[in-house]
């Protein structure tokens, strides 16, 4: 079985060849989702960055397109965003065509070699054919480096209340806020970050957006900040803050600040493999939720994972929503509803009390390299609830909930090839359970080399990758006692009409 067959994801986007990292410039327009991405087409490790491109009508079947942006005299094309400029504020639109405008970082490697620090500046490019081909603006860069070594990853969004564009951009260990009327000239407002949040690494890939609080008429602003290193289970990860954006400042909500003193679990994802994720432009769900995708790897070992032709994939697209818990607001993430359309068979649907130590299936009736499992356990008791996926090679991936300690866990230490990096399997990934509900629900999404866990309706999320020596084909669930109530477990095949 070839490396391609064993590790090429079934329904997560991966580039045909070469290196990929962050998703960039994601937007929706005219029936298509667009994904651009940090790409080095000529090698399978990080190199001179281009923007690769892929399109999809359903967020799961992606078709790679020609490279969108190539490095130029201003440097490599680092991460950034894209907006649909419906009102042609940029005046790039001609003949009534709606311009798509990309805002990205130009990173100058030559200047970097001379030891200069002002090597990152913000540039723009526009497309008049719905994101397929791009023209770089002759006035680049549009936002010059203010004298910081790291100044990158502009995320722009339309501020409907104030009728202007907002930009958040990472600058060292803070996030700076800028505004513009035309996407070409930018004015600085303020910066955010001093004395708050995790500062054990450089801040990258911010995103700022407003979300309704589910079940109320309240709206809050959410700021995502990726950090490398400093993640909850080592390496790179994405933290978030909830507050208000008053037109010039982002102010973290008092209740959120209080809760941050008690715990440090405000992570978009607690697993090791969801980084640099941001939201799509020009689309939200009917409740105002945002669409999000991340890079499904970690800077700790991304350059070493054992794929041959390509490296990395994106996460499953998720909906981000906001709920108000007992003490403060929480971001919740769940797979997009489009996923439901791909379920072809329901393997198990059990409304019974099962005995402990239950082997659910070793059946060949389901292919665990494309599956979704939904379950509910009622009346949690102390002890460890363990799921296990395994294969004939003796590889095993274990995950579940330690109810005594209150931790979710993913243990990939014996899940296949791990020796490519000593940082890949040096620990079991843990995540504190936020919910204190006596019942436990979860959604498990499986592809060939990834697991995405959405527990308690998306309150705690864990995404991890692994590289088994053969596909996992048996699935096991073990409860701490014989007396437990598995209210249901639905194991569903995901069928994608890939072409």
The catalytic site residues sit at 22
Q: Minimal distance in Å, beta carbon 272 to ligand FRU?
A: 14
Give backbone dihedrals phi and psi of 200, rounded to 5 degrees, phi first. Answer: -85, 5
**297 near ligand FRU, judged by CB under 6 A:** no
**78 near ligand FRU, judged by CB under 6 A:** yes
**143 near ligand FRU, judged by CB under 6 A:** no
Would you give the end-to-end CA distance of the chain in angstroms?
A: 21
Locate all alpha helices (DSSP H) within 101-243, ordered by sequence: 109-113
Tokens of 84: 């649909």
Q: Which of 20, 26, 49, 169 binds ligand FRU (CB under 6 A)?
A: 49
Q: Minimal distance in Å, beta carbon 105 to ligand FRU?
A: 6
Q: Which helix (H) or strand (E) is 100 found in, with range?
A: strand 100-107
Q: Which of 44, 79, 298, 316 binds ligand FRU (CB under 6 A)?
A: 79
Q: Which is nearer to ligand FRU, 34 or 39 (CB)?
A: 39
Q: Which is nearer to ligand FRU, 226 or 361 (CB)?
A: 226
Q: Which of 10, 105, 173, 443 binds ligand FRU (CB under 6 A)?
A: 105
Site string for ligand FRU, 13-32 (x = CB under 6 A): --------xx----------
Q: Minimal distance in Å, beta carbon 112 to ligand FRU?
A: 13
Instruction: In whole angstroms, give the CA distance from residue 420 to residue 375.
Output: 34
Helix, strand, coil shares of the chain, percent, nearest 5, are: 5, 50, 45
Instruction: In whole angstroms, give the CA distance from residue 116 to residue 109.
Output: 10
Q: Minimal distance in Å, beta carbon 314 to ligand FRU?
A: 13
Residues 403-462 that bind ligand FRU (CB under 6 A): none
**124 near ligand FRU, judged by CB under 6 A:** no
What is the rounded (10 degree) CA torsion for 211, 214, 216, 220? -20
Instruction: In whole angstroms, give the CA distance from residue 225 to residue 205.
Output: 6
Q: Minimal distance in Å, beta carbon 443 to ligand FRU?
A: 27
Calculate the alpha carbon distances from 485 to 79, 457, 474, 481 in Å: 47, 19, 22, 10
Q: Which is nearer to ligand FRU, 105 or 145 (CB)?
A: 105
Q: Which is nearer to ligand FRU, 276 or 305 (CB)?
A: 276
Residue whose C-alpha is closest to residue 107's, from 72, 155, 139, 81: 72
Give backbone dihedrals phi and psi of 7, rounded to 5 degrees, phi first. Answer: -120, -15
Q: Which is nearer to ligand FRU, 67 or 470 (CB)?
A: 67
Tokens of 318: 């998720």
DSSP 267-282: BS--SSS-EEEEEEEE
Number of H helices, E strands in the chain: 3, 33
Q: Minimal distance in Å, beta carbon 63 to ligand FRU?
A: 23
Q: Which of 82, 179, 276, 461 binds ligand FRU (CB under 6 A)?
A: 276
**38 near ligand FRU, judged by CB under 6 A:** yes
Q: Which is nearer to ligand FRU, 11 or 78 (CB)?
A: 78
Residues 148-167 that bind ligand FRU (CB under 6 A): 152-153
Site string for ligand FRU, 190-229 (x = CB under 6 A): --------------xx------------------------
Contact 25, 467 (CB under 8 A): no
Burial class, 316, CB count within 10 angstroms (exposed 0-12 / middle 13-18 / buried 19+): buried
Q: Which is nearer to ligand FRU, 22 or 348 (CB)?
A: 22
Q: Minimal distance in Å, beta carbon 274 to ligand FRU?
A: 12
Q: Minimal distance in Å, beta carbon 237 to ligand FRU?
A: 11
Dihedral (CA of 182, 185, 187, 193) sign: positive
Q: Would you say how long the chain is, in residues?
A: 499
Which residues in 246-369 belong to E strands, given as ranges?
Answer: 250-252, 275-284, 290-295, 310-311, 318-324, 329-335, 343-346, 358-361
Q: Which is nearer to ligand FRU, 300 or 446 (CB)?
A: 300
Residues that bind ligand FRU (CB under 6 A): 21-22, 38, 49, 78-79, 105, 152-153, 204-205, 276
């Amino acid at each position: 079985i070839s490396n391609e067959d064993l590790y090429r994801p079934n329904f997560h986007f991966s580039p045909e060849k070469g290196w990929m990292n962050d998703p960039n410039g994601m937007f929706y327009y005219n029936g298509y989702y667009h994904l651009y991405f940090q790409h080095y087409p000529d090698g399978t490790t990080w190199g001179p960055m281009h923007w690769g491109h892929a399109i999809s009508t359903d967020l799961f079947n992606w078709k790679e397109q020609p490279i969108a942006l190539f490095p130029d005299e201003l440097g490599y094309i680092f991460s950034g965003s894209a907006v649909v400029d419906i009102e042609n504020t940029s005046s790039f639109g001609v003949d009534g065509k709606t311009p798509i405008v990309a805002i990205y970082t130009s990173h100058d490697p030559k200047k970097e070699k001379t030891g200069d620090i002002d090597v990152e500046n913000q540039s723009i490019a526009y497309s008049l054919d719905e994101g397929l081909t791009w023209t770089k603006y002759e006035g680049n860069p549009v936002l010059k480096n203010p004298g910081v070594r790291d100044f990158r990853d502009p995320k722009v969004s339309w501020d409907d209340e104030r009728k202007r564009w907002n930009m958040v951009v990472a600058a060292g260990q803070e996030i700076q806020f800028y505004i513009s009327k035309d996407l070409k000239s930018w004015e600085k407002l303020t910066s955010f970050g001093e004395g708050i949040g995790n500062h054990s690494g450089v801040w990258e890939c911010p995103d700022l957006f407003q979300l309704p609080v589910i079940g109320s008429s309240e709206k809050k602003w959410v700021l995502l900040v990726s950090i490398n290193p400093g993640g909850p289970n080592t390496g790179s990860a994405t933290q978030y803050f909830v507050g208000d954006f008053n037109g010039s400042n982002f102010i973290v909500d008092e209740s959120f600040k209080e809760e941050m003193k008690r715990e440090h679990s405000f992570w978009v994802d607690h697993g090791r493999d969801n980084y640099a994720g941001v939201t799509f432009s020009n689309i939200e769900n009917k409740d105002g939720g945002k669409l999000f995708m991340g890079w499904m790897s970690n800077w700790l070992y991304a350059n070493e994972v054992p794929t041959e032709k390509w490296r990395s994939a994106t996460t499953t697209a998720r909906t981000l929503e906001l709920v108000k818990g007992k003490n403060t607001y929480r971001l919740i993430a769940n797979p997009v509803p489009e996923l439901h359309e791909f379920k072809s068979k329901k393997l198990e649907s059990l409304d019974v009390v099962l005995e402990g130590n239950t082997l659910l299936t070793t059946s060949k009736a389901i292919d665990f390299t494309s599956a979704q499992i939904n379950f509910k356990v009622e009346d949690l008791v102390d002890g460890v609830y363990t799921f296990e996926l395994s294969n004939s090679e003796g590889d095993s991936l274990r995950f579940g909930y330690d109810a005594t300690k209150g931790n979710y866990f993913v243990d990939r230490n014996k899940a296949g090839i791990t020796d490519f990096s000593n940082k890949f399997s040096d620990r079991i990934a843990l995540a504190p359970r936020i919910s204190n509900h006596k019942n436990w629900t979860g959604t498990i999404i499986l592809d060939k080399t990834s697991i995405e866990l959405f527990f308690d309706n998306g309150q705690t999320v864990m995404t991890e990758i692994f590289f088994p020596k053969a596909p996992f084909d048996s699935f096991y669930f073990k409860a701490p006692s014989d007396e437990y109530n598995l209210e249901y477990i639905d194991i569903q095949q995901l069928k994608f009409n890939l072409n």
